[in-house]
Amino acid sequence: MKVLPTYFSSVYAPPETPRFWRLSVAADLMQKLGLVEMIEPPPFDTSALSGLHSERYLTHFDQGIEPLASTLGIPWSTAVRDATYAMLSGQLAAVERAQSSGVCLNLACGFHHAVAERGSAYCALNGLALVAHARPDLRVFVIDCDEHGGNGTESFIAQLPNLYQASIFGTRFGCLGGPRSWTFHIRGRNAAAQYDAALDEVDDLIREHRPDLILYQSGADCHENDPKSLARISADQMFRRDLRVFGMARELTVPIVFVVAGGYQQPEQVAQLNANSVRAALQVFGEAATEPTPLTGAAAGAHTDPLVEDILAKGLLVPLGPATT
Ligand SMILES: [Zn+2]
């Protein structure tokens, strides 16, 4: 694998909606860096949501009936609705792709705060729980490494016996833990060491429960410069986090789908962190797993795009090296 199969559509990122538009910035950067093979998701069949979210909420969100339609915290529009549906379609398609390729990115953001009756915190519908709902044949394990706890996903666990979650967060956001839901709260000093210890426990959980699929929330809002971050981990630590999660999937031969989840710095900065996650996936699953190619020096010089050169000069993209997992 030289490039990462990635579901994305311009429909994901309406320009008038900044929370979604940043996905387009990330997509552009990933393409300029030659990291991804973009795949357009098929049209979404909304019947896939039936029985997951309440019928009342689904109808109100589909038709723009307030106040429920905008409970995600973004004013409802047909563009917001269609972006959400497209991301959900990409999510289900990415699962099928990962079952053959091992890893797949759905370049989507918010899913994990949405509960059955409404949206929340930029998440309209829960695309993580949707996978477990649409694929009862799969034991689905969510590894949520967003800054915020996966409270919405956790709320679906009681109704989906094939759904498991481990959530590592700096901000709990109502994610309390319980049956098939494990929580790891990163706080105070030594965040990096705490994060490593939490990943050790997640590794044990994955080995114990042997899922058929991992869904990975590779959140960028736990980065030390993010205005919402309490976990405050460095770009290097985030890269090592990604390597470890992808390494778990690869070692145990469990297909993994990941989404970029939250990020509240400038879109260009979030895009750089998202690109690091793709580079980690390629380092673990791609040819770089055996032949690391540092994206500095001569390789960096191959890029003539001023944006890419500027990013490389600032050092926010982590240089590739031997895998640490
Ligand atoms: Zn978040």
* Residue 138 pLDDT exceeds 50: yes
Query: Domain range holding 254?
Result: 4-293
Domain-embedded: residue 246 = yes
The number of domains in the chain is 1
Q: What's the confidence (pLDDT) of residue 231? A: 94
Q: How far is residue 194's CA from residue 16's CA, in Å, rounded to a whole number?
A: 38
Alpha helices in 33-67 (DSSP H): 55-63
With left for phi above 0 and alpha for psi between -120 and 50, is residue 150 left, alpha or beta? beta
Structure confidence at residue 315 (pLDDT):
52
The contacts of residue 16 (CB under 8 Å, 6+ apart) are: 77, 79
Q: How large is the average pLDDT for residues 72-91?
A: 97
At 240, the pLDDT band (50, 70, 90 cuts) reads: very high
Q: Is 304 within the bounds of a domain?
A: no
In the block, tokens 């991301």 appear at 87
| The pLDDT value given to residue 318 | 58
Would you say residue 94 lies in a domain? Answer: yes
186: domain CATH number?
A: 3.40.800.20
Please state the pTM of the whole predicted model. Answer: 0.90
Q: Tell me if 239 sits within 8 A of 283, measured CB to CB.
A: no
- Residue 286, pLDDT score: 85
Per the document, the length of the chain is 325
Dist. CA 173 → ligand 1 center (Å):
9
Gap from CA of 120 to ligand 1 centroid (Å): 11
Q: Is residue 41 part of a domain?
A: yes
Q: What is the DSSP string of 141-208?
A: EEEE-SSB--HHHHHHGGG-TTEEEEEEESB-TT---BTTEEEEE--SS-HHHHHHHHHHHHHHHHHH
Using the predicted structure, report yes or no on whether residue 324 has a pLDDT greater than 50: no
The CA 284 to ligand 1 mean position distance, Å, reads 25
**Dihedral sign, Cα of residue 16, residue 21, residue 22, residue 26:** negative
Q: For residue 321, is pLDDT > 50?
A: no
For 242-300, what is each residue's pLDDT tens digit?
Answer: 999 999 999 999 999 999 999 999 999 999 999 999 999 999 998 654 443 333 433 33
Band of the pLDDT at 188, cuts 50, 70, 90?
confident
pLDDT classification of 317: cutoffs 50, 70, 90: low
Query: Ligand 1 center to residue 168 CA distance, Å?
Result: 11
The alpha carbon of 285 and the centre of ligand 1 are apart by a number of angstroms equal to 26
> In which band, very low, low, confident or very high, does the pLDDT at 312 lie, cut at 50, 70 and 90?
low
pLDDT band at 189 (very low <50, low <70, confident <90, very high): confident
Q: Residue 4: is its pLDDT beyond 60?
A: yes
Gap from CA of 287 to ligand 1 centroid (Å): 31
* Residue recorded with tokens 């260009």: 268
Q: Is residue 151 part of a domain?
A: yes
Whether the CB-CB separation of 94 and 37 falls below 8 Å is answered with no
Of the chain, the percentage scoring pLDDT greater than 90 comes to 86
d(CA 8, CA 87): 8
- Phi, psi at residue 65, to the nearest 5°? -90, 120
Indicate if the pLDDT at residue 56 is higher than 80.
yes
Of 244, 84, 93, the closest CA to residue 168 belongs to 244
